[in-house]
Structure 1
């Protein structure tokens, strides 16, 4: 039998408990109490492997945009490796630097910081462009190999708030990009920044900045050491490499953290510490976070594989990513930088998506914060196509085959990027995606009026379970499409008018 407490006594007990809790809080640290979900990952691979490395939002997004933009955008010469090449006397960058800025011992890379003004930068306009281009996530190269932070950093004085723009570039971008409903990515290349070669005669290829006496990268100035990575290794790993990651995670809550190469040279303990810190922070904010890596430096049960300037030639069993640049040269802006044709960028996206991949497309802004018009035009042309026919891209997955046609992708990673650059698709190449009870066949080029197309992937000898087709339509056309399914495949007569110059989408609805 339960005895009921008198109401006045019950009230007194509650007041006493509340008072005790308030007093206890005054004696506690001001640090927020960690939730159970925040503590769900420990710093070991087995625990981190419990992370869903590719949440649905990421697999369905298909297209993201990032950008190489920083101090290297000021000289706008050669490429984003200007800060390294300017120290080698036999390199064209050295000669350019000598003629335009002086000897690198007197005008070092850090001297570009005051010249990086970003005076025309408008994060809202950028974010709107990304939306119009069809991207579902976007964000900056937060730091390249050069030691310059594109955010308001307390770890290094070489950042956009203390120097140059005197603005929190990453903070402005996060607000604008998330404000447009996009996910936010921050890319990190800074694992290469550490001065691993610290004596003359040592292999200088292992460091981004070469170790030459009398040059700023060998300076004993503490501020310059923070830019050039000339710091005791263990201190740099913990306070600089890991510290910067934690700073960006705490202040900007990225949905994706992407890593460039050399990550494997960071001691495993620090890679584990980063992953646990990021994933626990994301949990606390109810974020489904994504970690992307380029080489075999993080397990694939907790990260996504990235292929630079290349892609798979088979269907990926897991979600994967390609990072490629819109330009036909440097990743950062350089004078007279050309861009790829819009149709080639679109075809690359279609091919990637047909194999369960995601495209991270790089653009190259100018130092003043403007995006060159030829890049804008290329993005908008692709975005216009995606607005019309994006149902064949977003939220889809690979069919039993990625496609058919004469054009084949090479194997390999970055080592074959030149071969990937040379690929040109035609209307003889078809790529497939599927969603619910729909199969999309994307013809990679212009079709002609009344053209007969045979989709051989529907041939009885190729597909294990021939789908029962209900309707066949061509997106963008109201014409009734004539079609016939036979043992040889699906024969389709195209509409009387050409639908699109870049790619045509055939929508095939099958029975439930």
Structure 2
């Protein structure tokens, strides 16, 4: 998809081919005051690695999620196929996908097992995207997977959101519900009296307050259902940042310039009601900023430097957010490389996979998760629960610190390399409490202490030949653990 402008301080990852849509990162972070939210946020920040899934009826056409029904002239909204010539015919055919959606291979335990083996610790699932089709059993509309018009409704697992949340929760995952604030199927958002012009509400809410209040009630009721009927929830991940108070619009961001009307849905009430049902709930009103965006979500990008507030990069494993046949998937090495750079800056990686219309991941996606898991099982202690450590990243190394003040140097395989290229000596930064008694180990050589030597006033790790020459492409990265010195006085 066509890239959108990014705020200062970010750089785009080197994606190739079809690019998924990108969003800016909000600038005005407000630390939550609720102690339970603070506690949940700290626990979430230790997890570092999560699974994102965009899934809906659109997977049957192998197109970008929802956006082809949006009447904007952008790369990611272009209509294709036999109905593309007429907008009205296209909308009719798109909404008719409900009558053929039948993902008979849906098995959430297979996804949860693969995610667990990959070292993922939380999941965010699209309960409803912008097109308004609900992947949960809402009582507010019949445009849902559990309605009788949908073939899969007769399946015992038809309430897929509940099945996914329960299955992942049983494995100890934190649970996140993605929910789109705009709803292009709702007659109270895109009122049929007027044709939609763009992604925004197609009437003036101030002029027609009863209709807008009906939409606010609809939205609050659906979120209330998710918070009431789907077990313990940890994250309410809200998308569609154009649904926001007009006063919060940032005119320097290109896509926000199109927001004409005040689209305030009363986030204070939604957050309060949700937290009454789910104490400590993290609310992520992404790109809006303020007290209801408990962590920020740069999309398809990684900040250049550590941020002073919680954040997560949501990035696609392939080139698209939703299922596309024969999508190009990033290599396991690329994904580990991204994870390390994100964690070294204090963030988390939410890695997206789009399930197929049959209800499964591609074989390639499973293979990537397996390879990532093989590395994480050995090196995960250098990822989970760590914090950024200056100088953060130098050359092909990132630096992290654990809660017990152990320092980690992770020397990674670059995307261009075919094999690891580790120097004979890795010079340590000017860290305190490093002396001849400092213990250095590596999970790649279990049970072996590595030598330190001092030269020109700097300490360096002598890298054994077994590490320098025994690493191949599947190694991805080597971890060195520099334990806190216990020098005698």
| TM-score, reference length from structure 1 | 0.72
Q: Are 2:140 and 2:221, in contact at CA under 8 Å, matched by a contact in 1?
A: yes
Alpha-carbon offset, residue 205 of structure 1: 2.3
Instruction: After TM superposition, give the deviation of residue 490 of structure 1 in Å.
Output: 3.6
Alpha-carbon distance in 2 for matches of 1:200, 1:291:
33
1:508 aligns with 2:482: yes
Give CA-to-partner distance per residue, 1:189-243, whole Å, 9 cap, x none: 23363676769998822338x89xxxxxxxxxxxxxxxxxxx922211222x221
Match of 1:165 in 2: 152
Distance in 1 of aligned mates of 2:475 and 2:335: 14
Whole-Å Cα distance in 2 between the matches of residues 191 and 358 of structure 1? 26
- Contact 1:191–1:265 (Cα < 8 Å) also in 2: no
C-alpha deviations, 1:100-121, integer Å up to 9, x for none? Answer: 9997268432100121111110
Matching of residue 444 in structure 1 with residue 440 in structure 2 = no
Distance 1:111 1:505, change over 3 A: same
Distance 1:112 1:175, change over 3 A: same
Deviation at 1:334? 1.0
Cα distance change on mapping 1:91 and 1:48 into 2, 3 Å: closer
Q: CA, structure 1 residues 106+502, in 2 after alignment: closer, same or farther (shift >3 Å)?
A: closer
Match of 1:56 among 37, 42, 54: 42
Distance 1:354 1:95 in 2: 41
Determine the C-alpha separation between the residues in 2 that align with 1:123 and 1:58. 22
- Summarize the Cα distance change of 1:487–1:236 in structure 2 as closer, same or farther, 3 Å threshold: farther
Specify which of 212, 230, 238 is matched with residue 259 of structure 1: 238
The alignment partner of 1:308 has SS state of coil
Q: Give the SS at the match of 1:277.
A: helix
String of CA shifts for 1:441-487, please: whole Å, max 9, x gaps: 0112177588324335x23xxx5x35446211122214542222455
2:342 to 349, 352, 364: 352
User: In the aligned structure 1, how far is the partner of 2:355 from the partner of 2:31?
Assistant: 40
Q: After superposition, where does 1:348-497 map in structure 2 within 5 Å?
A: 348-405=338-395, 428-445=396-413, 451-456=423-428, 458-459=429-430, 463=431, 465-468=432-435, 470-478=438-446, 479-486=448-455, 489-497=458-466
Larger radius of gyration between Structure 1 and Structure 2: 1
Distance (Å, rounded) in 2 between the aligned partners of 1:321 and 1:202: 36
Give the 3 Å change call, closer, same or farther, for CA 92–336 of structure 1 in structure 2.
farther
Per-residue Cα deviation, 1:150-180 (whole angstroms, up to 9, x for no partner)? 1011111111111242111011111111111
2:282 is aligned with 1:290: yes
Report the equivalent of 1:299: 291
1:140-289 alignment, distance < 5 Å: 140-162=125-147, 163-166=150-153, 167-191=158-182, 193=184, 204-207=197-200, 232-239=211-218, 241-252=219-230, 253-262=232-241, 264-265=243-244, 267-268=263-264, 270-283=266-279, 288-289=280-281
Match of 1:68 among 47, 54, 59: 54
Consecutive unaligned residues in structure 1, runs of 5 or more? 1-44, 212-230, 406-427
Q: Distance in 1 between matches of 2:54 and 2:272?
A: 27
C-alpha RMSD of matched pairs (Å): 3.3
Partner secondary structure for residue 305 of structure 1: coil
> Is residue 338 from structure 1 mapped to residue 322 from structure 2 by the alignment?
no
- Secondary structure at the residue paired with 1:244? helix
3-state DSSP of counterpart to 1:232: helix
- Whether the 8 Å contact between 1:325 and 1:361 is mirrored in structure 2 is yes
Distance, in Å, in 1 between the alignment partners of 2:71 and 2:30 is 44
User: How far is 1:256 from its partner?
Assistant: 1.0
Report the secondary structure of 1:295's partner residue.
coil
Partner of 1:224: none
Q: Distance in 1 between matches of 2:73 and 2:356?
A: 25
Q: Secondary structure of 2:444's match?
A: coil
Q: Give the aligned length.
A: 413
1:320 to 297, 307, 311: 311
Structure 2 vs 1, CA of residues 75 and 100 (structure 1 numbering), >3 Å: closer, same or farther? farther
Which structure's residues are more often helix, by fraction? 1
Deviation at 1:49, TM superposition (A): 3.1
Alignment map for 1:102-113 (pairs within 5 Å): 104=89, 107-113=92-98
Judge which range, 316-325 or 371-380, deviates more.
316-325
Structure 1 position 272, deviation (Å): 0.6
Structure-2 separation of matches of 1:47 and 1:403: 27
